[in-house]
Amino acid sequence: MVPLLLVLLLVLILFAAGFALKLLWWVAIAVLVLWLLGFAARPKTGSGRWYRW
């Protein structure tokens, strides 16, 4: 019974990790698109930076 529970726990962990990694890929793509839009929409005058760092 214990090995079956361990295998089910392992499957649950791997499923959760795969879902989290896929979600992180979508977040990374969204951030990249926003960064590229900000880079393209930066002002042409001044320092040319669109961020405040």
Task: Summarize pLDDT for 5-31 with one digit per residue, the tens.
Answer: 888 888 888 888 888 888 888 989 998
CA distance 36 to 40: 6
Reading the block at residue 7, the tokens are 């295998």
CA distance 53 to 33: 19
Higher pLDDT, 47 or 9: 9
Identify whether 43 is part of a domain.
no
Q: What is the DSSP letter of 26?
A: H
Identify whether 38 is part of a domain.
no
The pTM of this model reads 0.58
Identify whether 3 is part of a domain.
yes
Identify whether 42 is part of a domain.
no
Q: In terms of residue numbers, what domain contains 9?
A: 1-26
Residue type (1 letter), 20: A
- Number of structural domains found in the chain: 1
Say what the pLDDT of residue 46 is: 59
Mean pLDDT of the 28-52 span: 74
Identify whether 39 is part of a domain.
no
